[in-house]
Amino acid sequence: MYGKNQYGLIQYARDSTPDSGQTDYYIDLKQYVPPFVYEKKEMDALYTAQGYEAGLARHNLEDLVEQCFVSTATWGLIRWEEVFGIATNMSLSYEQRREIIMAKIRGQGTTTAEMIKDVAEAFSGGEVEVIEDNSNYHFIVRFIGIYGIPRNMQAFITMLEEIKPAHLWYTFDYKYIKWNDLKPRTWNDLRPYTWNGLRVNEITPFVSWNGLQEEEYTWNRLAAYGWEKVKEIEEAKRICN
């Protein structure tokens, strides 16, 4: 151990802003004095040197204030994780680490359906509905604000296991695009999507349908096949072409 943190856990100088970028924060102090002052060679050099230091000091102060809020913290996230007893995982992005911290904050206190809802929304970034099935000691977490499986789902499950009552079990209900939602659309409308992308409403650039827009492949016929079969057809067309 080195100090309070395990040696090598944080990057060198991670707790401070490196001075190498001070030129990005330069403040022109000469604008605050009359020209006859800064036109002197000595004063010009003085104001230039002080401008770099003042700019860097202001940047460091603003950066420090950002660490006081989970939504803007970067290098300060490790302090938040220490406060709430969260294991630091440097392989996660800042956004993923913020989600875990926010969920931990929302998960303090007595566990209720509303608390679980708040925690789930902190991870998914969309609206969530918690459906209680008390007679079976069960509840459903339904993601209705986003399509597909939310990212960072494993971290949410870990958090849910910590806050839920031990005697309750749970299932997840995800939202996907349905065939009826696609019927009003044309093939050209859907060209930017892959089959998996259609299900979760995510556009993937440079996608071609490889012959599926032929007349024999109507939406009603494709709907009868199901998603997996349609993907097999699309892949076969791609290989043939």
Q: Examine the domain organization and report whether 150 and 120 are in the same domain.
A: yes
Instruction: Identify which has the larger pLDDT, 153 or 211.
Output: 153
- 23-27, 50-54, 140-144: which has the minimum mean pLDDT? 23-27
What is the model's pLDDT at position 241?
A: 59
Q: How many domains does the chain have?
A: 3
13 found inside a domain: no
Q: Domain range spanning residue 169?
A: 113-175
Q: Examine the domain organization and report whether 85 and 120 are in the same domain.
A: no
**What DSSP state is assigned to residue 21?**
G
23 found inside a domain: no
Return the amino acid letter for 123: F
CA separation for the pair 94, 122 (Å, rounded): 14
7 found inside a domain: no
- What string of DSSP letters covers 80-124? HHHHTTPPP-TTS-HHHHHHHHHHHHHT-SS--HHHHHHHHHHHH
- 10-24, 30-44, 79-93: which has the minimum mean pLDDT? 10-24
52 found inside a domain: yes
36 found inside a domain: yes
Asked if the model's pLDDT at residue 175 lies above 50, the reply is yes
What is the model's pLDDT at position 61?
A: 92
| Domain-ending residue, one of 49, 78, 108 | 108
Asked if the model's pLDDT at residue 76 lies above 50, the reply is yes
Average pLDDT, the chain: 78
| Domain-ending residue, one of 81, 108, 135 | 108
pLDDT digits (tens, 9 = 90+) for 54-66: 888 899 999 999 9
Mean pLDDT of 68-83: 91
Q: Examine the domain organization and report whether 126 and 163 are in the same domain.
A: yes
**What DSSP state is assigned to residue 156?**
H
What is the model's pLDDT at position 213?
A: 56
Q: Examine the domain organization and report whether 135 and 100 are in the same domain.
A: no
Q: Examine the domain organization and report whether 159 and 211 are in the same domain.
A: no
Q: Examine the domain organization and report whether 209 and 234 are in the same domain.
A: yes
